[in-house]
Amino acid sequence: MDRFIYSLLLYLLCPFVMLRLLWRFKKNSAYGRRWNERFGFIRPLLSDKQIIWMHAVSVGETIASAPLVMALMKSYPAYRFLITTMTPTGSDQVKAIYGDMVEHTYMPYDLPDALYRYLNRTNPKLVLIFETELWPNTIAACKKRGTPVVIANARLSERSAKGYQRISRLTRNMLNQLSVVACQNIEDGKRFVRLGLDAEKLQIIGSIKFDINISSETLNAAKAIRSNWEKGFGRQAQVLIAASTHSEEEQIIINAYINLKKQYPDLLLVVVPRHLERFDAFYDLACNSGLTVKRYNQDTNVTPNTQVILGDVMGEMMKLYAASDIAFVGGSLIERGGHNVLEPAVLGLPVLSGPHTFNFHNISMSLEQAGGLIFVNNTEELTAEVDRLLTDGDHYNNTKNRAKQFVDDNRGALVRLLKIISNVLANSHHSN
């Protein structure tokens, strides 16, 4: 497939894309706001400084890319930073982290006319795409303007590589219009090269997700949250958090908690669904399972009878992790590929995960080998492993310490990535 046919197919799909946007709007009104940005119609930017554009698809990528963006803002004060996301929750996360320090729009669809409008308005000096968002027309349009594109913290699973292989000619041309692919590990790097990337454009840097720093404000807020929970609970609690959960695995988590509650009456379960559209559905599911549920965003004062706290809030995951004792990371008991196991690990929590972690395969396997992560497959195994962590103090301490040590031992990718970006900017021939 060449890019002309690809673009033609995208235009033919536009009516269906609009219908999907309408369907999402009916479920979440935020999808109806600023929809014009997805077609390249954006308001004037607030600054006349040159732009560095960072794309982070949604919440997880926005959080993970924050250390990079903060470091770049410090190193390049003459630039204004533009961050794009695909989802309203990603947009909310950008606002929560940066306030007015950056510009935000939705990522334009990969349509030539939308990109023409968008790039004419923003005229970025550099484009940074975080992890895996590869759009042929976006990359080609930047190349045509002389704007370098860097894939930062790049990863490419075997499953994704097989998908790109089906459009091999389009993929090969797209990859070789990139300036640098700064990849997390050599296995993913080999997949990029196998798809046609010039090996000279590949840099193996590790993952900047290891360079996450937890602020004292976050830790203090977490202590206050935990204190409020235990004050309302009337006694010391043990807290199990299930984070970034999906609908198909939430009943498994509830069943495991019901099993554990028989032996541990002081155990609280905190559940943070991956998508805000799941908040009400999980509340109903937990209540229908006979559990007493408090919604974090509506009533943080638990009672002595509270069993489950629904984390119906975006942007406070690290606080909720830090207020907990044991973490299960969702999207992993089903074939969603898992989510970021390093977030609880950096806080020194023992980490549990299902077996489906292809989005974070190398990190998850390495964390397990280091002794900081435990894989479970079902209700029975989740029950048993949490039971062991709660019963065996040495096992609990060893697991949490090894999780924290694993993160500390693998820091440094951010410094390497900043050096790459500095070199790309220095050699850029882009002009206004």
The residues annotated as belonging to the active site are 61
- Which tokens in the block code for residue 224? 């206050």
Which of 408, 398, 337, 409 lies closest to 373 in space, CA to CA?
A: 398
Answer yes or no: are the C-beta atoms of 154 and 132 closer than 8 Å: yes
What backbone torsions phi and psi does residue 240 show, to the nearest 5 degrees?
-105, 125
Contacts of 216 (CB under 8 A, 6+ apart): none
Give the largest Cα separation in the chain, rounded. 67
Q: What are the helix (H) ranges across 147-278?
A: 158-165, 168-175, 186-194, 216-233, 247-261
CA 415, CA 419: separation in Å to the nearest integer?
6
For 390, which DSSP code? H
SS3 content of the chain, % helix, strand, coil (to 5): 55, 15, 30
Residue from 288, 308, 303, 286 nearest 240 by CA:
308
Strand arrangement of the beta sheet that strand 103-106 belongs to: 103-106, 79-85, 50-55, 124-130, 149-154, 180-183, 202-204
CA 254 to chain centre: 24
Q: Which amino acid is at 346?
A: V
CA contacts within 13 A on the Cβ side of 385: 22
The residue behind tokens 């023992």 is 350
CB burial of 16-40 (b: ≥16 within 10 Å; e: otherwise) equals eeeeeeeebeeeeeebeebeebbbb
Q: Are 234 and 304 in contact (CB under 8 A)?
A: yes
Q: Under the phi-then-psi rule, with left for phi > 0, alpha for psi from -120 to 50, and beta for the rest, what region is 348? A: left
Which long-range contacts does 221-229 make (Cβ < 8 Å, 24+ apart)? 221/319, 222/318, 222/319, 222/320, 222/321, 222/322, 222/323, 223/322, 223/323, 225/300, 225/319, 225/320, 225/323, 226/323, 228/300, 228/301, 228/302, 229/268, 229/300, 229/302, 229/309, 229/323
